[in-house]
Structure 1
């Protein structure tokens, strides 16, 4: 079941008695929650028929008992069981006991006057009996990060619905600055909507003005300039980061992390891995992997390893040498650029 199809069903009033939401895309969690609330409580949320439980501090028995009770002043009650880690391989908080047998019994005949929603932002433990039962009896939605084209469509639909025109250059700038993350992109899109107002047009210049680059993006730019052998531009970017108050030791740590990712991508590419598989293997954002793939395809693995080793040595020097850390980093940049 796709998230778009399920949202349409909810808005039509076709609501399941039990949902299981899992994944890491926060925006999609919010979309499902808002759709359920809007459909069940069209006149506004009725707190007497709405419950929110943190499963780190609430027992499953309490949630099931609430689900069995009739709602007040509403046709149905809505219950969210957040952070349901008992459905994963993670250990639950001490002192909170979850009697899954009660939930298993409830799933055999869920209350017709209750919509019970379990939310978990971790991978499910498919070996657990309760997870198998939920997959069989509940509506299960995986809310994982979307592919680049899907995020692009979400944004285009959002701006279209708001009556805002955005050209492809502005859209790409927004996507790049938010790492193609739907949650980040939609948060920034709302800022753009407010800023544009009645003008109805969003330009690349406005995106650049409104959506700040992240430190990761600055480090990627710095790394790219170093790997291109562009010492002058790399030193200017470094100077800008210093003026922003960034720690040189912290910047080098991020540089090391970036080069490590490049090495991992280079090795996995040589073994025939594709972008999605590399992202899964490294745990990196798929967009970062895509950029890294473009950067390392023509690079020599031995040179990457040498740069990685020298950056680790630089880290040691910065922490132990009496020399100025800025000078050390500048010398490092010029040395690496000279090898490219």
Structure 2
């Protein structure tokens, strides 16, 4: 199997003006597909060249024959012409592109944006793309990878973010990277003049997340078995249900305790060992798991995971016709802490 190309490799080659005749961008995560396609459109051709040498079409509005005909044209007063097919997952009989890709036009850059899924890498189309161009799969990030994405995104903007602030953003926005990028841009714009560091206080002011009463702090209270702090947070959640939906809290707790269960099986019970076992970007992210392992037994963690699933089912009306979300969460947190 061919080595998978990364987003960073593609962008590096594009910056060095090393172009491929085809870029097939596919996968569940729109963000990287959009970034690569936009970068190619923005940088390969000048504005004047784009007038005659840029064709943008949509999969639902065209067919393979038209795409191939466009790709076979020669550029006008330019070294390259570009054909971009957006929403290519709607392009019927897309596998027929393989015939063109056997001998692609060297002066054409064909960009195919295939979202919400992937083509079969075992089929001829994938083989021809890998032989003559770039086949890129944009995968959804795991929850543990989102803080790393936040830090990397801001680093490119020459902005830092405090770890707690990063966790707050990861919890609030989740794995929607396009939305995350938009929220981070808003935060950059609201930085005071000369400031280059995002803090929890700034997020509280501009995004509307409480720096003291959020799922990140609830998780921390559970790790420390701080009953008073946990009860204050769930009372705040009950009073502000719109900003703190139960389903989001349950998802975060389930993810944490599921990872904690996996941590017990790490060959090396250290920050580095736990980080490697859970696929965390840096050892400091493992510190909460190390602390939780000292306070919760493996049997208790299994019971907690079962209780979270049961709470989720009851919140959806299964075996529970009337108990409000606030009461369900209170009962769950009591069970976790006692």
Would you call these one fold, judging by a TM-score over 0.5?
A: yes
Deviations 1:36-78 (CA, angstroms, capped at 9, x unpaired): 2233332367355333333355432221122123456655332
Number of aligned residues: 311
Deviations 1:234-260 (CA, angstroms, capped at 9, x unpaired): 232223223333399x51x44544444
Match of 1:163 in 2: none
Match of 2:129 in 1: 134
Match of 1:172 in 2: 163
Does the residue aligned with 1:199 lie in a helix, a strand or coil? coil
Counterpart among 184, 206, 209 of residue 210 in structure 1: 206
* Alpha-carbon distance between aligned partners in 1 of 2:40 and 2:243, rounded to the nearest angstrom: 45
Q: 1:261 to 1:115 in 2, by over 3 A?
A: same
Question: Shift of residue 269 of structure 1?
Answer: 3.4
Question: Shift of residue 110 of structure 1?
Answer: 1.5
Q: 1:237 to 1:294 in 2, by over 3 A?
A: same
* Alpha-carbon distance between aligned partners in 2 of 1:246 and 1:334, rounded to the nearest angstrom: 22
Greater CA drift, 130-139 or 193-202: 193-202
* Alpha-carbon distance between aligned partners in 2 of 1:329 and 1:2, rounded to the nearest angstrom: 41
Question: Shift of residue 126 of structure 1?
Answer: 1.6
Q: 1:62 to 1:3 in 2, by over 3 A?
A: same
Does the aligned pair in 2 maintain the 1:155–1:185 contact within 8 Å? Answer: no
Unaligned stretches of 5+ residues in structure 1: 86-92, 160-165, 280-284
Match of 1:232 in 2: 228
Match of 2:187 in 1: 192
Question: Shift of residue 316 of structure 1?
Answer: 6.5
Does the aligned pair in 2 maintain the 1:38–1:44 contact within 8 Å? Answer: no
Whether 1:21 and 2:20 are equivalent positions in the alignment is: no
Q: 1:104 to 1:112 in 2, by over 3 A?
A: same
Whether 1:9 and 2:25 are equivalent positions in the alignment is: no
Match of 1:157 in 2: 156
* Alpha-carbon distance between aligned partners in 2 of 1:254 and 1:186, rounded to the nearest angstrom: 20
* Alpha-carbon distance between aligned partners in 2 of 1:125 and 1:276, rounded to the nearest angstrom: 30
Does the aligned pair in 2 maintain the 1:61–1:98 contact within 8 Å? Answer: no
Does the aligned pair in 1 maintain the 2:224–2:292 contact within 8 Å? Answer: no
Match of 1:54 in 2: 58
Q: 1:138 to 1:295 in 2, by over 3 A?
A: farther
